Chains A and B, each alone.
Chain A
Amino acid sequence: MIAPEQYPVLIVTVPLLSAFLINLIGMVDKRLCYPASLLALGASLAAALAVAARVAATGTIHYHVGNWPPPFGIEYVIDHLNALVLVVVAGVALVAAIASKRSVEQDFPDKRAQFYTLFVLLTTGLLGMTITGDAFNLYVLMEISALTNYSLIAMGGNRALVGGFNYIIIGTIGACFYLLGVGHLYIMTGSLNMADLLQLLPALFHTKAVLVGAILMLLGAWIKMAFFPLHGWLPNAYTYAPSATSTLVAPLMTKVSVYIMIRVLFSVFGAYYVFTVLPVKGLVVWLAVAAIVGGSIFALAQQDFKRMLTYLIVAEVGYMVGGVWLANQWGITGAILHIVNDAVMTLCLFLFCGIVVHKTRGHRLENLRGLFRRMPVTMAAFAVGALSMIGVPPTAGFFSKWYLILGGIDAHQWGFVAALLFSSLVNAVLFFRVFEIAYFEPAEEVHGHGAAVAIDEAPLSMLLPLVAVAIGLIVLGLYSTSLVSTFIQYAVPAGI
């Protein structure tokens, strides 16, 4: 059978091949698409776990596609950083797929085959972006995940179309900037392989072309992750996207883009260049502060629950970018841990949002009225996610925030520390307002009946993933130190 040396490529190619099969299966029977997607994503997750275990045991793995040695062929490089991110991406995608059943049946019953094919291909794109060690291969995968994402959003119709169109325009600018940045490095060095570039670039650190290449690649990643002030596309695109889409893309797209930023910074340019030569260090931390404060304030102003969550994503991106540019052990550890934690937290919140949309056909704050009585288990699971967003121990959100604050103190970036505390405060206000609405305000249709509200829980296919993710948040919190000691401490570049 297939040797364990081949597992890295399976993480990407199994969902890829399955996606085309799902499309064909859908022509025969639409109902089979859902289990087929689960199978594909499950297999991918299993391969990712096996690879992560091997990385933890033996260190970085290289895989040469087509058996061509780099820099001539395309190489997969799995180190401690992307081994972790791969598991997160595959895991989150699987959970989002499980929960998508009812939403998809409700929103587009006739387009199930198309939806699941695009869904699995989007996951393939994200996994491929994460695993590759080739700067151009990353661009191609970036376009796969982007195109699938545009269309999955636009499938929502109406306002989602407008949001999707803006996203195409801005997303294309982002991807093109990245491609142009790669072009600048290519014209100066003649190579596309990240490890090779890391060797060749130090001799060219003084050139403006490399500087511009770095800035273009960063701009590309920032546009893709909606980093302030390039975040304009995100709220509309994610708010009006179908629930099944936003459950997948909201936790993953921004986080994978943050990973891309870290990968490009440290595996192509190297920490010395990024923090010593590149003259943007102070600026980026202040932009991160603006992202956190701005995202939180905008979230506070929303009357629409889902839109509020999208602004929280903007704020969370500020956490991670700021953490990286703190340029110390704590900050980068916090940023990487936050990629994991934030993916799971956002998944939890958007799963809940999916349930709300499924049950009440809306995602405004008033749709939440009376939900504590109607859906106690759902609300309890949501509460865990909300506490994690606020940063209450022992949920996962607390630990990454703790590392980030330590990093901020260590780097004397008091503005960043203040922004983190401010954002926790705002999150507390936000979520307690949500709890208040859901607990005290009775649902309109049962007004007058008082406590006599029948329990009407979400369907199991949506409830179980939510509960599992909520438990996962606590488990992640409890085991965050071992996560740091097994994976993240090796992912932080040496010499900082």
Chain B
Amino acid sequence: MAMAEIFAKYNYWIYITLMMIGLYAMIAKGNLAKKIIGMSIFQTAIIVFYVSIGAKKGGATIPIIAHGHEGAEHVVRAIDYVNPLPHVLMLTAIVVGVATLGVALAIAMSIYERYGSMEEEEILERIRE
């Protein structure tokens, strides 16, 4: 594979790697807190993916329209600004992420209070007793 191709896609590879790390942690780890960390990594991986979609090479700047004092006198060209839509979508995803994190932590703490452990095996053992 040509060097150019590698540099053209590495963002996507990193997101895939992060996603695999997160997914593995969610399933393989027995500690509830670790599962939650895995879940957050999994969610941020998707954010990396979306934000990468929005990037534009070739001099595009942040999506805030440069304008004079009396409104826009100059022509606004889409090519000068990065794509704002994925940013909006990912603001939602970040917010959903923290919301899920809060609920998951609350449930994990209640589990700890009830069963005295954060380890999945120990919790299941105590349920069986």
Interface residues of A (CB under 8 A from B): 136, 140, 143, 147, 150-151, 154, 157-159, 161-162, 164-165, 168-169, 172-173, 176, 179-180, 183, 186-187, 192
Contact = CB atoms under 8 A, between A and B. Distances in A.
B79 to A, nearest CB: 14
B49 A180 contact: yes
A25 to B, nearest CB: 24
A183 B50 CA distance: 7
Interface stretch (B60-68, B69-77, B107-115): B107-115
10 contacts: A136-B89, A140-B96, A143-B100, A147-B99, A162-B115, A162-B124, A165-B104, A169-B26, A169-B39, A183-B49
Contacts of B85: 192
A331 B92 CA distance: 37
Interface in B33-81: 35, 39, 42-43, 46, 49-50, 53
Nearest to B96: A143
Contact of A168 (B19, B89, B107): B107
A157 B123 CA distance: 14
Nearest to B53: A187
Nearest to A182: B89
Contact of B26 (A154, A173, A180): A173
Nearest to A177: B46
A19 B39 CA distance: 29
Given A168-B103, A186-B53, A176 B46 contact: yes
B82 interface: no
Contacts of A140: 92, 96
Nearest to B110: A161
A475 to B, nearest CB: 39
Given A168-B103, A183-B53, 18 more contacts: A136-B89, A136-B92, A143-B99, A143-B100, A151-B103, A154-B107, A161-B110, A161-B114, A165-B32, A165-B107, A165-B108, A165-B111, A168-B100, A172-B42, A172-B43, A173-B23, A176-B43, A183-B49
Contacts of A158: 114
A63 to B, nearest CB: 21
B93 interface: yes
A179 B48 CA distance: 13
B103 to A, nearest CB: 6
By Cβ-Cβ distance, the 7 closest A-B pairs, closest first, are A143-B96, A161-B111, A165-B107, A187-B53, A154-B107, A168-B104, A161-B110
Given A143-B96, A165-B32, A187-B53, A150 B39 contact: no
A contact patch SS: helix
Contacts, number: 69
A173 B42 contact: yes
Contacts of B86: 186
Contacts of B89: 136
A172 B53 contact: no
Contacts of A169: 26, 35, 39, 104
B127 interface: yes
Contacts of B35: 169
Nearest to A137: B92
A185 to B, nearest CB: 11
A179 B108 CA distance: 25
Contacts of B99: 143, 147
A151 B42 CA distance: 21
Nearest to B32: A165
Contact of B100 (A159, A172, A192): A172
A487 B12 CA distance: 44
Most chain A CB neighbours (cut-off 10 Å) among B26, B96, B115:
B96
Contacts of A186: 50, 53, 86
Contact of A159 (B53, B96, B127): B127
Contacts of B100: 143, 147, 168, 172
B107 A164 contact: yes
A18 B9 CA distance: 47
A383 B108 CA distance: 40
A154 B23 contact: no
Contacts of B110: 154, 157, 161
Contacts of A150: 103, 107
Nearest to A153: B107
Interface in B111-128: 111, 114-115, 123-124, 127
Contact of A180 (B46, B106, B115, B123): B46
A147 B102 CA distance: 10
Given A143-B96, A150-B107, A172 B114 contact: no
A66 to B, nearest CB: 14
B50 A147 contact: no
B119 to A, nearest CB: 12
A143 B103 CA distance: 12
Nearest to B109: A161
Contacts of B106: 154
A29 to B, nearest CB: 26
Contact of B39 (A136, A143, A172, A183): A172
Contacts of A143: 96, 99-100
